[in-house]
Structure 1
Amino acid sequence: MSTPHLSVQLYSVREALENDQEGALARLAGLGLRDVEVFNFVHRAQELSEALGRHGLSARTGHANFLSPELAREHGATVHSLDETFAAAEQLGLELVIDPFVPAARWGDEQEIARTAALLNEAAGVAANHGLRVGYHNHSQEFVHTINGTNAFDLFVSRLNPDVCLEIDIYWAAAGGGDVVALLRRLGPRVQALHVKDGPIIDDPFSSGVPFDPARTGQVAPGQGEVPLDAALAAAPDAKFAIIEFDHYDGDIFEGIGAAVSYLNQKGIR
């Protein structure tokens, strides 16, 4: 069993970054963090690389939406090509580029699941030309449907090429009462990264038709909620990264991250 590297998803401190990027990065470094997971990085790779370097931080994983360009269009954002995305990832020194979200409507249809897997496999080929690997990050909508007796997420994974990785968000995989420990054992070495977060076991909010409100997730510092984090970490011995993330936190987000750092440090994850 290898010990994963400690990291934090910068999305957790998105508001602090917008207000004072240098101050936010300094506070993360002050908590003992040395690695971060970046997001929305393609258009600002050089700037972000320099900012991280000023604070002794590096990024080895990053989120980029390359499976659902319609999401970027909906928000008026630029749709980047795979080569543009992976060139920016190279510039930052990433190892793994992860798509963070495929809409709920695509997980109830077998053809759409197959198409999503094919797109990810195609991206893996392009990423390899840049010395990178790709992966997928789950929420809860992937686990809602069953197709011919097989869970939609398992069906998706069965169609992925062997070089495609998974980043399992433990909190979201447990939503709706899913057995995240069994899931991690089933996926085995596919799982190269974990999002470590805690809170109540809630129902899937992404298939409800109601706009998602992160404030309703009830997320708390790891070890303070209902998610079986200890067992989940033990069930993913091949994971290279243990990444702290909060979609929302009531209170000082840096205090929440500090508590998460302490929780993981106690397990030898640094």
Structure 2
Amino acid sequence: MCNSSTGRIERRSPSVSVPSVQLYSIRDAMAADLDAAVARVAELGLTRVEPYAFAQRTADLKRALSANGLTAPSGHASVIDAADPDAVFDAAEELGIGLVIDPFVPTERWRTADDAALLADAVNGLSARAAERGLRFGYHNHQWEFANQVGGRPVYELFVERLDPGVALQVDAFWAAVGGADAPAVLRGLGDRVAAIHVKDGRLTGDIATVLPSSESALIVPEALKAAYENQTPAGQGDLDVGAVLAAAPHALRVIEFDSYAGDVFEGIAQSLAWLAEHDTEGAA
């Protein structure tokens, strides 16, 4: 809903059983025609989306979301390394995004206990800054936060232990599993601080837990890890027990995502949406 006095989209918190989709999944279609791509998402029956890099194209996204009756309860943006985090939070307010998630800090900054402490302190500060504006801030994992170990423990655990209670977490259970974690157990251990999960499935076979991507991009990967990107599947069609993941975080926003998909990604999203409608009893309102 647009507030006529401010022109900004009002933030809402509908039931978590209403799924969303990470627009990064359709980045190629958006690059070709942002408005048409967002319209296709709405045609699938989705009413919620998770924009990425939203501070860089706020006006275009606002136009497309409003035209298609879509809301964005969460969004991805680089905030930890941003020169002006308030500009990102301004854009979030403009789009009605209540949960701002930083999606990526490269693997070489997740090596030691000091690394975890440094990142946690930065996230704590940004979370407090966001809270002053009525926003929540948090972090989204990939594989390396679990594959990188400190004293036999995933560095992610050290990071979480230092976080303030108000910090939100978006858990990508697929990537946690790729990194060697028991994803449902991770979610149960994190409890209510998990504000959202990425609903993703694919192949977990091969030597994928011990290899790491480039420090420059999560998408530049060694041969042994490529299958984890290239063979992603709609929910319920891969090796991850997506049902157990959902059951472990019944309160969390469900966000469908594909990092890569061999077929028509809109069809893949539709299949994941249909699977959630049939199987996501834990997240029902």
Both proteins in one fold, TM over 0.5 = yes
What is the TM-score with the length of structure 1 in the denominator? 0.90
Aligned 1:82-97 pairs, distance under 5 A: 82-97=85-100
Aligned 1:90-169 pairs, distance under 5 A: 90-169=93-172
The secondary structure found in structure 2 opposite 1:166 is: strand
Q: What residue number does 1:41 align with?
A: 54
> RMSD over aligned Cα, in angstroms?
2.0
Unaligned runs of 5+ in 1: 70-78
1:12·1:247 contact (CA, 8 Å) conserved in 2?
Answer: yes
1:64·1:97 contact (CA, 8 Å) conserved in 2?
Answer: yes
Deviation (angstroms), 1:47: 2.5
Aligned 1:175-186 pairs, distance under 5 A: 175-186=178-189
After superposing on structure 2, the runs of 4+ consecutive aligned residues of structure 1 that deviate more than 4 Å are none
Q: Percent identity?
A: 44
1:105·1:207 contact (CA, 8 Å) conserved in 2?
Answer: no
Unaligned runs of 5+ in 2: 1-14
Deviation (angstroms), 1:102: 1.0
- More displaced 10-residue stretch of structure 1: 9-18 or 147-156: 147-156
Give the aligned residue type for 1:158.
Answer: E
Higher relative contact order (CA 8 A, sep 6+): 1
Deviation (angstroms), 1:151: 2.3
Q: Structure 2: how far apart are the matches of 1:205 and 1:100? A: 21
User: Greater share of strand residues, 1 or 2?
Assistant: 1
Q: Structure 1: how far apart are the matches of 2:174 and 2:196? A: 13
Q: What residue number does 2:258 align with?
A: 246
1:137-181 deviations in Å (ceiling 9; x for gaps): 000100123323432111100000000011011110110442111
Deviation (angstroms), 1:22: 1.8
Q: What residue number does 1:72 align with?
A: none
1:51 aligns with 2:64: yes
Q: What residue number does 1:207 align with?
A: 212
1:45-84 deviations in Å (ceiling 9; x for gaps): 13211211101111110001122x3xxxxxxxxx441111
Q: Structure 2: how far apart are the matches of 1:173 and 1:25? A: 29
Q: 1:29 to 1:178 in 2, by over 3 A?
A: same
1:104·1:141 contact (CA, 8 Å) conserved in 2?
Answer: yes
Q: Structure 2: how far apart are the matches of 1:166 and 1:4? A: 18
Q: Structure 2: how far apart are the matches of 1:24 and 1:206? A: 34
Q: What residue number does 1:173 align with?
A: 176
